């Protein structure tokens, strides 16, 4: 049976062999910053197979959506949420939105911060702890962090307002200070002391461990756990090659690369028997 996540793109499959005036122009990819490493490798694999180039732009998904809505040239949009690509689809600027990857939120802590999943909420509420998040609305990572705060309210009344007031929105906003080139922004904020604890995607674990040894990853307890569904769409009027690239992301090769970078890849066959 056809996988439902592929249905929207497969409806357009006839386009991929159609002649196109832009056949040799690079596919314009706009993608969430958390996908930079994974989709860079996916794009390289696509180019090696198809001889078609991909020109990426990475950043906070909400800011990318706003740039596209204002008319910036774009063809494939890979967002860290479903809402931003759906907003473009509802505006008539994009086609079907499909789920192509999943992530989840973790806490990252400086070495001297004593924290476990069981004590995480207590430490996030500790006035002595600088709690970092990304910027809600501009960056879905910030929205997911604030969902954690909302879940905390059921564990400890008053926690939601206290955490929202304490959160240092250090990344993902239009005015956020960038990390040095090639450096993980969350690890950089921890190493610099801008934050003691940072709520960020679990897929940051490998780069943070490589760049900032000693930083700790803490899984969120079930009562606070928040997952992230990533949405893919192709812009209205995009080239046939853009559809080819989008389907490559959803096909086995693309999904296997995403899985190697720690994402749950929803279109891969199940292996649990």
Q: Which tokens hold the place of 238? A: 């995009």
Per-residue model confidence (pLDDT) at position 269: 76
Domains and CATH numbers, the chain: 4-16+23-102+228-260 (3.40.190.10), 103-219 (3.40.190.10)
- Pair type for strands 131-134 and 197-201: parallel
pLDDT tens, 2-31? 444 454 455 444 444 444 445 689 999 999
**How far, in Å, CA of 154 to CA of 107, rounded?**
19
Per-residue model confidence (pLDDT) at position 23: 62
Its pTM stands at 0.91
Degrees, nearest 5: CA angle 251-254-88: 80
CA dihedral 34, 35, 36, 38 (to 10 degrees): 130
Radius of gyration of the chain (CA): 19
Q: Are 131 and 200 in contact (CB under 8 A)?
A: no
Q: How many CA atoms lie within 13 A of 213 on its CB side?
A: 0
Per-residue model confidence (pLDDT) at position 186: 97
For 269, which DSSP code?
Answer: P
**For residue 156, what are the CA distances in angstroms to 152, 162, 236?**
6, 10, 46
pLDDT tens, 73-124? 999 999 999 999 999 999 999 999 999 999 999 999 999 999 999 999 999 9
């Amino acid at each position: 049976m056809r996988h439902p996540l592929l249905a929207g793109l497969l409806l357009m499959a006839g386009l991929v062999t159609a002649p196109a005036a832009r056949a040799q122009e690079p596919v314009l990819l706009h993608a969430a910053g958390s996908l930079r490493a994974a989709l860079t490798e996916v794009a390289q694999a696509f180019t090696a197979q198809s001889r078609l180039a991909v020109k990426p732009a990475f950043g906070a998904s909400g800011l990318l959506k706003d740039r596209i809505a204002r008319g910036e040239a774009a063809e494939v949009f890979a967002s860290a949420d479903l809402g931003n690509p759906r907003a473009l689809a509802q505006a008539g600027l994009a086609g079907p939105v499909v789920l192509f990857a999943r992530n989840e939120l973790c806490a990252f802590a400086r070495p001297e911060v004593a924290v476990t999943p069981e004590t995480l909420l207590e430490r996030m509420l500790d006035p002595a702890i600088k709690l970092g998040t990304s910027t809600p609305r501009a960056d879905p990572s910030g929205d997911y962090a604030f969902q954690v705060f909302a879940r905390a309210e059921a564990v400890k009344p008053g926690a939601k307002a206290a955490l929202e007031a304490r959160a240092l929105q250090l990344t993902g906003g239009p005015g956020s200070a960038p990390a040095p080139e090639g450096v993980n922004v969350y690890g950089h904020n921890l190493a610099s002391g801008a934050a003691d604890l940072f709520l960020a995607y679990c897929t940051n674990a490998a780069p943070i461990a490589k760049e900032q040894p000693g930083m700790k990853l803490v899984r969120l307890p079930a009562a606070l756990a928040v997952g992230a569904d990533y949405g893919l769409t192709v812009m209205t009027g995009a080239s046939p090659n853009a559809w080819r690239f989008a389907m490559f992301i959803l096909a086995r090769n693309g999904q296997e690369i995403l899985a190697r970078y720690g994402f749950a890849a929803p279109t891969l066959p199940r292996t649990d028997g």
